[in-house]
Structure formats: structure tokens, C-alpha cells
Structure 1
Amino acid sequence: MGTTTYAKADGLPKQYKQHQRSFLGLMLVLSCAFLITLLPDVNLTLFRLLNGIAAELPNWPLLLITDLGNGVTLGVITLCFLIKRPEIILRVIIASVLSLLLVPLLKQYFDMPRPAAVLETLNIIGETRMSHSFPSGHTASAFLFAGTLWFAYQSHTIKVFAITFGAIVGISRIIVGAHWPQDIMLGAIVGLLCAYTAAYCPPTQLQRVNNALMLMFLWLVLVICELEKSFDKDIIWQVLLLRWGLLFTAATLFLRQYNIKQLLIQRFASKTQ
């Protein structure tokens, strides 16, 4: 995914001098777009335009794309990233906690109806929901991940990829009929702001065995969450295959990165000393 920069380039304050200007420019663009979508006619027109795409495409690819913003799916993708960059685990945890607090609070406060509760005709793919539309949680999660990549790497290619990933997930939420354009724009802003705030946390260099234990714990939590969701009859097999395939990939990357036997020996040796 390009050249990575650790240590000095990933610390403060140099990191912010290198990233802040372009990030603020991105936030300005998103804020202007958000203000435009607050106009009812613009919001409805954009929804109709994008939601109409659903009638032209098969359901399962759209469900796969929109599931990339799901907590478990995106959590495993993030875990794969953390296996290669364990020094920013704490940064990701802080950003995730902020998002988990902000998004539900905003949803409850505004309590805005979803498109299915307002429009008589629209394309709905997947679960039909009526309330708590504003902002989009899937989009917030996708842009939180995008923001994390933005501040973790110097490569412009990775930055473009990250924002494109978030945008695709956000647009998919409109196509499947789950959210309005204004929900997507605010979700993107919230996700990026959470990543921006967490980026103030400098990289934390833990012992290799501690990194491994934290990653193993996160993987087990995601497996438990997915085991519970896998019994949902509404989930199509393609989505289940995606999630379990990602979990298997994360486990494979972890085993390649860490020698479990050696780590356990080191762990027990440190306790006996």
C-alpha cells in the first residue's frame, strides 16, 4: 500500500505539520457539501439519483459493499492493519470509543426519520429501518478508518484510497435506501474528527508480547460478535463469507507476524523473574 513512515514522521508535532493542511482542506470540502445537502430539495434529489442505481445492479454486491462499514467487518479490516502497525492500537481504540459515544448520541438527539419512513417509493436492499437516520453510523466508521490511515501514512496514494473507501461505503448507504445524503456527509465528518482527535495520541511502543496479546484479544472479541450475528437469517451468504474470510485472513497475518510459542515462553519467563 505504499511507503510507510514510522517513529519521527508519525509523532507529534511533525506529523500534524505534514498532515493538517490537507486534512483541513478535506474537512472544508466536506463541510460545504454537508451544508448543501441540508437544503431539502438537494437532499431529496441526490437521494433519488443515487438510490435509483439499486434498480440497475444485483443486490449482493451492494450488500457486500455496504457491509464494509459494519462494525465487525470493518473491525477485522482494521485489525489486519494493526497487525502491521501495532504502535497505533491505542490511537484506534480512542477514535473508536469517541465514535461509539458520538454517533448514538447524535442519532438519539436528532431522531430523524429514514427514507423508508418518509418516501412512498424507493429502492430498499437489506434491512428496512425507519428511525435514527442522522448521521450514518456505517459512514462514520468507514471515515474513521480512512482518517486513521490518513494520519498513519505519508503516501498520497494511501490517502486517496482511504477517502475513496469511505466515500464508496457512504454512497452505498444511499443506494440501499438506508440513509439520506445529509446523513452520509455528517457521518463522514464525525468519523474524520474522531480520527483527528485520536491522532494526538503518539505511537505507543509496547513489548512485542503485549502487542500480540492485545491483538489476540481483539480478534477473539470480533469472532464472538460474529458468531452471534451469523445466526441472523437476513444476512446473505456472501456477507458471511466476506466476514469469516476476513477473520481467517487476520488470523493468518497474525500467525505470520508473531511466533505464539516463543511469545508464551517470553511471557512466562518475565513473570518468573
Structure 2
Amino acid sequence: MTRIPHDSSTQHPIRLPLFGMPWKLLVGLLAVAAVMVLVDEPLSTVLRAVTVPGDVDQELRFFQQFGQMGSILLMTVLVWCLEPPAIRRTLLDFGLAVAITSILALVIKMLTGRVRPAFGSPNEFLGPWWIQENLAVTWSQGGSMPSSHVAAGAVMSTWLWIVFPKIRWVGVVLLMLVGVARVRFGSHWPSDVPLGAMLGIVIAWLCINRLLGTRLLDLIWRTFVDRKASPAWPDVAAAIQEQQRSHHSPPE
């Protein structure tokens, strides 16, 4: 947990959160979800019925895993091998956001029990499964809202947006492909997609923007290992701010 001391005499004090919550984006996603509720069934039918070359669907199936375990492991290896320690530590914040988002998505799915497209209408909500009697519904039939794939993709996209601004739009495009794929392959209703994105963005923004994973490890380390250790989070915050400055600085 050793780090280079932060020199407050030459730099502005670092405060958290690093950036404000993207409220306009969240309101926009909520509005999109509200509109999609009105056209869930016809839009789902159209997207599933569109005929495209087989290779296109294969690529979509690949891209819909953005934010899932394989892509998480790949990004972890790349960041660990290519980035300095301060940026590596953002993996703690990213990992915490993934864990919280996954749990919350599961809880919401079980509370709403929305039926998936192949097994009913978008207006069928079964409610909390564990308190209903004689209800034989498998996971592949229910649990449509929200899309946990989109939520996980939103977490990764938000992490890229904050920590790696030079490739932030790559994450946005991949997230959009995840949403299209989940509807295309009948896993979700269209309105499940923006709701999943909202969940992932909010949790990721709270965890990564406030460096909750890094600060949690700081707390554990200084409590149980070395009480005199300097916290790592100021260096992580400074590294993120430098990434943002270099992205916005004009080329020399």
C-alpha cells in the first residue's frame, strides 16, 4: 500500500466524487424505457424476425458478452500488464461495481418476475417467486427485467468512460450492441435494456467515481495490516484526473 506522497502544494486538492452524476443521461434512459414499454411487443417481434446473414448473428452473440466474465478477465489482464499501479487499482472499484450490480439485478428480477418474450407478454409480472404457490417458472422463462447483461455492460462502459476516456466511445458502442443482441435473441423486452443500463451506470458511477473499492481496501489494510500506511486512493484519483486532462489537451 506504499505510494508516492501527494504534493498538495503543487496540485489542487483531490476531492471525491471526481465527477457529478450524469443525471441528464439517466433521465433520458428512463424516458426511453417509458416509451419502449408502449412498443415492447411489436419492437421485440420485429427485431427477432429480421433476417440477417448468419455471421452477423454470430458476431452479435460474441459482442453481447461485453461486461461478462470473459471480457472482465481480458480487461483485467490488459490493465494489469499495461497500466501503472494507480490505474490498476481502479479494478477494485470496477470489481465492486460489478458485484453490487449483479446482486441488485438478481434481486429486482426476482421481485418483478417479468416473463421473457418467448413465454408471455410484456405485461406479465409474476411478482416475488418465492412467496407464490404452485408457480413453476424457470429462470429461462422469467427474470426478464432488468437485463443483467446490459447492466454489466454498463458497468464496464462507465469504467472505460471514467478511467480510459480515449476509448470511452468504444464502450458506448459495445453497450449498445449488447442491448440490441439481448432483444434480438429473445432474452429481454426492449424496455429491459435502458433499465439495465440505468442500474449499471448508477452503481458504477457511485463505486468508480468515489473509488469505493480502493478506499475499502485502504480501510482494511490500515486497520488490520499497517496502521501507518498512506491511503492509496489519492494517487488513484490523481491518475484518473491526469487521464482526463490528457484526453482533453490538444495535441502538440
Instruction: Quote the offset at 1:191 in angstroms.
Output: 0.7
User: Deviation above 3 Å: which 4+ runs of structure 1?
Assistant: 11-14, 202-206
Amino acid at match of 1:61: E
CA distance in 2, matches of 1:177, 1:98: 26
- Superposition CA RMSD, Å: 3.0
Partner of 2:63: 65
Instruction: Tell me the TM-score normalized by structure 1.
Output: 0.59
Query: Deviation at 1:179?
Result: 0.8
Check conservation: 1:149, 1:162, Cα contact below 8 A: yes
Unaligned runs of 5+ in 2: 1-6, 122-138, 218-252
Distance in 1 separating the partners of 2:176 and 2:106 = 21
Higher fraction of helix:
1
Q: What SS is found at the alignment partner of 2:31? A: helix
- 1:143 matched residue in structure 2: 154
- Deviations along 1:222-270, whole A, 9 cap, x unmatched? xxxxxxxxxxxxxxxxxxxxxxxxxxxxxxxxxxxxxxxxxxxxxxxxx
For 2:114 and 2:145, locate their aligned partners in 1 and report how far apart those are by CA, in whole Å: 6
- The Cα of 1:177 is off from its aligned counterpart by 1.2
Q: Which amino acid aligns with 1:117?
A: F
Structure-2 separation of matches of 1:12 and 1:80: 29
How far the C-alpha of 1:81 sits from its partner, in A, is 4.9
Q: Specify the alignment match of 1:173 in structure 2.
A: 182
Indicate the SS of the match to 2:195: helix
- Number of equivalences: 183
Distance 1:103 1:81, change over 3 A: farther
1:31 to partner: Cα distance = 1.5
The letter of the residue matching 2:15 is L
Q: Is the 8 A contact 2:48 2:184 kept in 1?
A: yes
Rounded Cα–Cα distance in structure 2 between residues aligned with 1:95 and 1:179:
22
Assess, with a 3 A threshold, how the Cα gap between structure 1 residues 34 and 15 changes in structure 2: closer, same or farther. Answer: same
State the alpha-carbon separation in 1 of the partners of residues 34 and 149 from structure 2.
20
Is 1:183 aligned to 2:183, yes or no? no
Equivalent residues of 1:82, 1:88 under 8 A apart: no
What amino acid is aligned across from residue 66 of structure 1 in structure 2? Q
1:98–1:73 CA distance, 2 compared to 1 (3 A): same
Per-residue Cα deviation, 1:72-127 (whole angstroms, up to 9, x for no partner): 223223314532331212211220121121010000000011001027xxxxxxxx
Opposite residue 165 of structure 1, the aligned amino acid is: L
* Structure 1 Cα separation of the partners of residues 25 and 74 of structure 2: 23
Identity of aligned residues (%): 21
Question: Is the contact made by 2:66 and 2:174 (CA closer than 8 Å) also made in structure 1?
Answer: no
Quote the Cα distance in structure 1 between the aligned partners of 2:175 and 2:93: 19
Alignment check: 8 A CA contact 1:74 1:141 kept: no
- Go from structure 1 to structure 2 and tell me whether the alpha carbon gap of 1:161 and 1:204 turns closer, same or farther (over 3 Å shift): same
Match for residue 45 of structure 1 among 18, 25, 42:
42
